[in-house]
Chain A
């Protein structure tokens, strides 16, 4: 089973939930940090890194001796990453998505593809948890290819937990696609609610069953609860607003290690997710209607 932990708003507690779930699992578990722009899981797990690889995307390299300046490469490029100016071909590698269109259409075979590094994937273990994360190179705009590289290491025989980035756009979609269940973490504030609504629309669009975790319960108002009730969205766990939890988080401590009573709560959460995932997509369709 693949469980993705996501949220519209940043800083609601995705990493706390993802690491606590993984650390509470009785069976073999793999934890993937897909927030490759700002990966934080390793801070809490302190894994022993056993391997890493560079992730590259193929970008064009033009051999001007062969080029006849026909401009076909510039015409097919949807991302304006290659342009013909006078007798020169300019490439803007940071705009390139690596689709391979330019080298495919080049009639004189003047374009070959060379790898450009966009980040690294690292893996290792922490206690019984198999850990994988990606780190986007600073200055790099596109995270989805790196997220795909992290997800290539998924081993479906185990419980897989994915810590997704915040938001609702392409990096989030890339992270939660293919998950059997999504946990949406929110906080009971106007910002939390606004971004939860967007996140709910996103998982409904992807037709993945989901439930909600309310973090910092008691901090704000009741609107998140009203929304979930009106929409028939189950709230599977509440974590209270508690300064001790915030302080432990600040030191990079795992919630379930600092306060052992939470281990039971997360085990219960895992069971509830499993049941919901099994009832699965059919139920989800019902709820969406």
Chain B
């Protein structure tokens, strides 16, 4: 079973539209929505949830006012400025390290485990989907991605599926690292804008840092042909296979509104370009 992560660095380049189409074309994949704090894949695939699990990982300090002698030692040791001068814990700032509880002479501080999200196994018309919902303002998104990727692998093996397709979050930080570590291939969805190229260089740098093979496609390539040529050059320089140029196509948005993937909604334009991207993915995996 191979694992492919679709990432972009910059947000809004079209990762989710591309991956939903790849899943429609693959027919033997299990999907992972790694964008756990702003998941969108379910909007296209209309999943039926068959399993639901709580995600518990973070802890927050909680001061028992009755036991507290207001000595302020907790506030002094906290590196995250999470305890105010009147000794109230800011739950958004608290990182759950527990140092305050350790130093408290009255043992007035407990660390309470939070339910920091939920994850789901669903059935969709293009195969199983493992997705999640990180609680608002919660942390540990990387850990949640790791949990759902594991579940997807197990599910894929049980059902004899050939591919795990991971929809990565934007950025290059913790949930992105968690989405790409150990995959066989990273597909970068690039955007022909100065920002898009800047961000692409950083996400490619991240994949190289972890020694993961990278291929790329350009979405809305015809918005700026000069920038598309620059991405060509960048790919040549880095030895990245450029496996598709997807034109700007109003039907990508229409497909989204109709809750369909692009290749389900139409067959030419953006859809046929995405089919080329799929061929490129298969070729890079040696399938």
Contacts and interface: CB of A to CB of B under 8 A. Distances in A.
Main secondary structure of the interface of A (DSSP, over half): loop
A182 to B, nearest CB: 13
A168 B202 contact: no
A117 to B, nearest CB: 15
Interface string A264-280: 00000000000000000
A137 B272 CA distance: 37
B11 A104 contact: no
A202 B206 CA distance: 29
Instruction: Pick the most buried of A15, A79, A141: most chain B CB atoms within 10 A of its CB.
Output: A141
B173 A250 contact: no
A173 B92 contact: yes
Interface residues of B, number: 62
Contact of A142 (B37, B136, B174): B174
Interface string A84-111: 0000000000000111110011000000
Contact of A250 (B137, B194, B206): B194
B172 A12 contact: no
Interface in B217-261: 220, 223-224, 227, 253, 256-257, 259
Contacts of A79: 97
B11 A138 contact: no
Interface size class of A (residues with CB under 8 A): 35 or more
Given A37-B173, A100-B99, A169-B134, A139 B256 contact: no
Interface of A: 8-12, 15, 35, 37-38, 40, 43, 76, 78-79, 97-101, 104-105, 136, 138-143, 165-173, 177, 189-191, 194-195, 198, 201-202, 205-206, 219-221, 243, 246-247, 249-252
Interface of B: 9-13, 16, 35-38, 40, 43, 59, 77, 79-80, 92-93, 95-99, 102-103, 134, 136-139, 141-142, 169-177, 191-196, 198-199, 202, 205-206, 209-210, 220, 223-224, 227, 253, 256-257, 259
